Amino acid sequence: MPKVRKKPCRICRRWFQPDARVGDRQRACGKPECQATRRQKTQSGCRKRNPDYGIAWRLDQRAAQTPPPEALRLPAPLAQLPWNVAKDQFSPQGADFLGVMSALILRAAKDQIRPYLPDPSGLASRLPIFPKKTSSSLPHTESRAGDHNGRRGPRTKRKTRMAARAPRRSQEQDTIPKPSA
User: Per-residue pLDDT for the chain (181 aa), expressed as one digit of tens each?
Assistant: 567 789 999 999 999 999 989 888 999 999 999 999 999 999 999 999 998 898 888 888 888 887 877 767 787 788 888 877 888 888 878 888 888 888 888 888 888 877 776 666 665 556 666 666 555 555 555 555 554 555 555 555 555 555 555 555 555 555 565 666 5
Other Cβ atoms within 10 Å of 115 Cβ, number: 6
Round to whole Å and give the CA distance between 180 and 54. 102
The span from the CA of 69 to the CA of 93, in Å, is 10
Q: 0.75 exceeded by the pTM?
A: no
pLDDT at 39: 95
- pLDDT at res. 114: 74
Residues in the chain: 181
Domains in the chain: boundaries: 7-49, 53-114
Cα separation, 147 vs 130, in Å, equals 11
